Amino acid sequence: MSTGIKMANPGLTVFAVGGDGDGLGIGGGHLPHIARRDVDVNYLLFDNSIYGLTKGQPSPSSPLGTKTKASPQGSTEAPLNGTLMALSYGASFVARLFAGDPESITRALIEGIQHKGFSFFHLYTSCVTFDKTFKTWDHLKEWVHPIPENHDTSDLKQAMSLALDDEFCLGLLYRRDD
C-alpha cells in the first residue's frame, strides 16, 4: 500500500510501520520488493521478538529456543535478521535503533526522510508482557551499543558483516546515494 501511496502522490513523505511478526513473517514478502525497487518510503520495523498481540507466540525474530505457551519446548527455527534482510534486498538506507533512545531515533528519521530511496529502520523494543529475555528497556539497554566510529556507511559488505556479526550494534549501517 505504501508504494501505491507514494506513486500516486510523489510529494508525500510516506511511512509504513509494522512489527517483526508482520514485517518478517505474515507480510514479509513485501519487504524484498519495496527495497529492491528503492521506493522513497520510510519503513519502521518494531522488533520485540514475539507476537505480543496473539498471546506471546514466537515470532520470526525470536531467539532459538524461546519458550512460550505456543512453544513450551522452545522455538526450533533460527531467528530472522531483519537488518541483514533489508541490506541483502537492496535497501539504500538501513539503520538499527533502540526504542528507548528517542534522540537517536529522531536523528535517524530525519536523515532517512531526507534520503531519496527506501529507508529501513529496525527498532529494537521489548514486550513487557511476554518477552522473557528483554522484559524491560533497561535490560535491553544492557545489550545494545553504538556502531564502531570507524564504520563506513557506504560499504555494503561492511554493513552486512556488521549486521550479521554484531546483532546489537545501533546506528546507521548503510546509506547509498545514487
Q: Check residue 135 and give its pLDDT.
A: 59
The answer, yes or no, to whether residue 167 has pLDDT greater than 90, is no
Cell for 132?
Answer: 522473557
Q: 98: closest CA among 88, 111, 107?
A: 107
How far is Cα 25 from Cα 27, in angstroms, rounded to an integer? 6
How far is Cα 83 from Cα 79, in angstroms, rounded to an integer? 12
CB 167 within 8 A of CB 82: no
* Domain total in the chain: 1
How far is Cα 138 from Cα 30, in angstroms, rounded to an integer? 32
CB 51 within 8 A of CB 68: no
Model confidence, pTM: 0.93
Q: How confident is the model at residue 61 (pLDDT cuts 50, 70, 90)?
A: very high
Quote the domain boundaries for residue 130: 2-175
CB 34 within 8 A of CB 43: yes
Please indicate whether residue 41 or residue 53 has the higher confidence score (pLDDT).
Answer: 41
Cell for 6?
Answer: 507514494
Q: Which residues pair with 15 in a beta bridge?
A: 42
How far is Cα 86 from Cα 67, in angstroms, rounded to an integer? 27
Q: Which residues pair with 123 in a beta bridge?
A: 46, 97
Q: Check residue 133 and give its pLDDT.
A: 62
How far is Cα 157 from Cα 162, in angstroms, rounded to an integer? 9
Highest-pLDDT range among 1-5, 39-43, 71-75: 39-43
Q: State the CATH number of the domain containing residue 15.
A: 3.40.50.970
